[in-house]
Structure formats: C-alpha cells, structure tokens
Structure 1
Amino acid sequence: MRVIAGSRKGLPLKAVPGTNTRPTTDKVKESIFNMIGPYFDGGLAVDLFAGSGNLGIEALSRGIDSCIFVEKEQKAMQTIMENLKKCRLEEYSEVFKIDAMRAVKAIDKRELQIDLLFMDPPYNKVEFYDFAKKLVESGRMKDTGIIVCEHDKFVKLDEDFGTFALARKETYSGTNISIYRKRIEEEN
C-alpha cells in the first residue's frame, strides 16, 4: 500500500495488523480518485471508518486541505497516526478514536461542511451507511460534495442519501464503489 499521487506520491503506507481491517487496494484507490478527482483545490474530507487512513491520506496528498479520521479500533488508530507521521500530514489532520455515530453527532454540532466523505464500514454492517444520509439531512455535506462508499459486491445500497443520488457505481473483484453527488433539480 502506498500513496498513489500528489505531494506524497510513492510513500509507503502501513496496513492495520491482523485480519479485522480490510485495506483498500492501490488499484481500487486509484480508480476511486480517477472517478472523483483526481486532484482537489482544498476542502474538508472525512474518513469515517478510516482503518489505516489510506483514503484520507490520499485525499490530503491530492490537495484536500484537511481530513478528519474516525476509527474506534486501537490498532487501526495507531496505524493512522504512524501513517500520518510518515507522510508528514499530522497538522492537516484530526484523528478521533470514537464510533461513527458519535463522530456524526460531533460533526453536526461543529457545523462542519464536508467536501469529501469516505464510507468504508465493515462489510457486514450495511446499516452504517445511514450515517451518510444523516450528514446529508443535517446539511453537513456541501452541495458540491462527494460521498464515496466502498462495499461488498452483494450489498445493494440505496439509490440516494437524501438529496445525494448515486452518480456512478463500479465493481472491482469483490468490491463495489458507489459515488454519490447532489441531485441536480431540473427546471421546468
């Protein structure tokens, strides 16, 4: 695993030890960023089930101003911190060891505006995708924001999260990537 492009291109990233966390492969990560970027002109990213921090770090390397990493597992938290340090991205990051529900409530309370939301919960926890809908409904997603969901190919996600509709879906081996963008209302 490595940073694919941007200011930290080529730096190796550590995976979370053990088998509880499934890392996003470099191939899938490169495809995600080709669909949504590939580069950014600032903004805030939230990596809600961060694992190793792989996706949020890639977003920072490609121009996102700051990223909030949310992860409740201790081994994963340590890995995120090590990867941020290795990439010299600590000052552009906030890392929280809390569950996703508390993180969503904290984001709402702080009235943050999210440009890029990564959702990669454990594959058997489909209900966690409801957090994306909560962030949309509470007005935390910018109108130009993007929601990226990584999920098992057998999991069917909703066609929309409030005003954000499924814009693109790709399958890579056993992994689906679903991209949501704000629905554009057609004028009469």
Structure 2
Amino acid sequence: MRVVAGIYGSRRLKAVPGENTRPTTDKIKESVFNMLGGYFEGGVCLDFYGGSGAMAIEAVSRGMDQAIITEMYRPAIQTIEANIAQLEAEDNFIILKGNNRQSLNKYLVKNASIRFDLIILDPPYAKAAIVDDIEWLEQHALIANHARIICETDHHFDLPMEIRQLKQVKQKIYGQTKITIYERG
C-alpha cells in the first residue's frame, strides 16, 4: 500500500494488522481521487472510519490542508499514527480515538466552526450506516456547501440517489467494492 500521488506520492504505508479492516487498494484509491478531479486547493477532510489512514493521507498529499481521522480500533489507531509519523506530517492530521460520532462531538466543543470539504465514509461493510452518518453530519452542520462525500461499500449495497440535500453524482464498481460520490444538489 502506498500514497498514489501528490507531495507524499510513492511513499509506502502500513496496513492494519489482522483481518478486522479492509484496506482500499491503490488502484481504487487512484480511481476515486481521479473521479474527484485529482487534486485539491486546500480544505478540511474527514475520514470517519480511518482504518490505516490511507485515504486521508492521500487527500492531504493531493492538497487538502488538514485531515481529521476518527477510529476506535486500537491497532488501526497505531497504524494511522505510524503512517503519519513516517511522513513527518503530524501538523496536518488530527486523530480522534473512540466512537466516531462521540469523539467528533468532543472535538467540536473547541472547534465549533469547522465544516468538511471532503468526507470519506468507508465503514465495515457489515455495519454500513452511511445514510445515518450523512444525516448525522448534515444535522450537525458539518458538511460544507461545496463538499464532496466519498462512500465505499460492498458492490451489492445500494445507496439512495439523494440523502437530504445531497445528490449522488458518480458511482463506479471495482470488483467487490462500490464507490459512490455525493455533492450538494
């Protein structure tokens, strides 16, 4: 696993040990970011199910100013910390440990004005709560007006065409993985 492009391009990343996480392959990661236009001109990214942190790292490598990563699985947190440390980019990342909604709520107490420009939702396939997550983020006014939301699911999992004011704008299947992108309508 590696960073595909940008300032950290070609850097190797560690995967989370064991079978509890499913890393996004480099091919899918490259395709996803190409679907978004390749690079960003700043902004804040939220990776709501961090895993190895690879998607958030890719977003920062391609121009996001900062990424906030939520994760509750201890080996995944250690992997995220190791991946960020080897890039020497700790200032660009905030890791929130524990339940994603609870840890983000705690963070928001001191950072109430934050809005996310890019949101990555890649929950465990068996526990996919993407619609609930998007509705929760929207309820808490965390989605910027121009935000894009990347959803990674099993290829059999169907997401609605619209969730609140967000519309599905792209969808692509890569083997067992389906990528769906939402934007504000």
Contact 1:8–1:61 (8 Å) recurs in 2: yes
How far has the Cα of 1:106 moved from its partner?
3.8
The answer to whether 1:121 aligns with 2:135 is no
Once the two structures are overlaid, the 10-residue window that deviates more, 156-165 or 171-180, is 156-165
Structure 2 equivalent of residue 5 of structure 1: 5
- Find the counterpart in structure 2 of residue 17 from structure 1: 17
| Shift in CA distance, 134/104, structure 1 to aligned 2, threshold 3 Å | farther
TM-score, normalised to structure 1, is: 0.93
Q: 1:148 aligns with which of 137, 146, 150?
A: 150
Find the aligned partners of 1:102 and 1:157 in 2 and give their Cα distance. Answer: 24
CA–CA distance in structure 2, aligned partners of residues 76 and 96 of structure 1 = 12
AA aligned opposite 1:68: I
Which runs of no fewer than 5 residues in structure 1 stay unpaired?
184-188
* CA RMSD between the two structures: 1.3
Q: Provide Cα deviations, 1:88-129, integer angstroms capped at 9, x if missing partner.
A: 221111001111221443465423110000000000112254
**Alignment partners' CA distance in 2, 1:142 and 1:49:** 19
Partner residue in 2 for 1:176: 178
How far, CA to CA, are the matches of 1:103 and 1:179 in structure 2? 25
Greater shift, 2-11 or 133-142, is seen at: 133-142
What is the deviation of 1:74? 0.3
Conservation of the 8 A alpha-carbon contact between 2:123 and 2:129: no
Amino acid at match of 2:20: N
CA distance in 1, matches of 2:132, 2:120: 13
Q: Would you say how many aligned residue pairs link Structure 1 and Structure 2?
A: 183
Query: Equivalents in 2 of 1:138, 1:96: separation in Å?
Result: 17
* Equivalences for residues 28-177 of structure 1 within 5 A: 28-106=28-106, 109=109, 110-177=112-179
Unmatched tracts of structure 2, length 5 or more: none
